[in-house]
Amino acid sequence: MTTPDVGQIYTDYHGKVMGYIRARVQSAADAEDLCSDVFEKVFLKIGDYDSEKSALSTWIFTITRNTVIDFFRRNHPSDELDENIPDDSEVDAALLRTETLSELAMALRHLPAQFAEIVVLRYYDNKPLTEIADRLGISYGAVKLRHQAALKALREALGEN
Amino acid sequence: MERKLAALFDFQKFENNSDLQKVIDAVHARSARRELSMEDLEYVNAAQGSYISPEQNPLEKPRK
């Protein structure tokens, strides 16, 4: 197994790491510090990286995500831990691959447009169902039904029980 | 499934997979169009509500 080149990693991933952090941390200075922390960890741990366990992108994403979570726990313990960062401790890291994202895209394309819309607003934009109901101009009950139907269809499309 | 979707969409914010981004952008465009048309509708309703015909307007002089 060859260790990836750290200079190349910085070039390839700086934009992704910074983009993810900036979407969650308001202060540009904090974001810069966090970005530096991420790459420090990446460079320190690069010897432990196992390409058979996960893609490099997933490995760096996990370090980035955990660094942001630690930042919120450390500096804003009274704030809600950014709801936009899901607890994915029960999600298999092997799932987080760009191929899975493409599979999800295909599954969403096969859903009725109003179902796909609810899924994106709920899980990408992190909107509560009540707000989605307002935005769509339909009742909360109707959104709840569509949401359940969309999850069922996605479970089937993605081969989940 | 909900945790899986939340995790995948969070990963998307890092990965920017182009296939999924197209779907997300299409949904956002659809939402924006709907919001615009709802605003238009509210504007029309407001305009209709504020319209006072000359016959109903007490400031309008009666025509002979």
pLDDT > 70 in chain A, percent: 86
For the segment B14-31, the average pLDDT, to the nearest whole number, is 92
Burial class, A46, CB count within 10 angstroms (exposed 0-12 / middle 13-18 / buried 19+): middle
**CATH 1.10.10.10 domain position(s) in chain A:** 97-157
3-state class of A101 per DSSP?
Answer: helix
Q: Does B16 touch chain A (CB under 8 A)?
A: yes
Domain count along chain B: 1
Express each pLDDT in A60-79 by its tens digit: 999 999 999 999 888 866 55
HSE, side-chain direction, 13 A CA sphere, residue A17: 29
The answer to whether residue B64 sits within a structural domain is no
Chain B residues in contact with A156 (beta carbon < 8 A): none
Q: Which residues of B touch A123 (CB under 8 A)?
A: 2, 5-6, 8-9
- Which residues in chain B are closer than 8 Å to A87, comparing Cβ atoms? 3
> How far, CA to CA in Å, does B55 sit from each of A155, B63, B64?
62, 9, 12
Structure tokens at A16: 């992704």
Provide the total of helices (H) and of strands (E) in chain A, helices listed first.
7, 0
Residue B18 in any domain: the answer is yes
Q: Which residues of B touch A100 (CB under 8 A)?
A: 8
Residue range(s) in chain A whose domain bears CATH number 1.10.1740.10: 6-75
Instruction: Give the CB-side neighbour count of residue A136, counting CA atoms within 13 A.
Output: 27
- Whether B45 has its CB under 8 Å from any CB of chain A: the answer is no
Domain that holds residue B14: 2-48
Does residue B12 belong to any structural domain of this protein?
yes
Q: Determine contact, residues A142/A133, Cβ cutoff 8 Å.
A: yes
Task: Tell if the CB–CB gap between A101 and B24 is shorter than 8 Å.
Answer: no
- What is the fold, at CATH topology level, of the domain defined by A6-75? Rna Polymerase Sigma Factor; Chain: A (1.10.1740)
ipTM of predicted assembly, 2 dp: 0.82
Closest by Cβ to B14, choosing from A20, A135, A155 = A20
Fold designation for A97-157: Arc Repressor Mutant, subunit A (1.10.10)
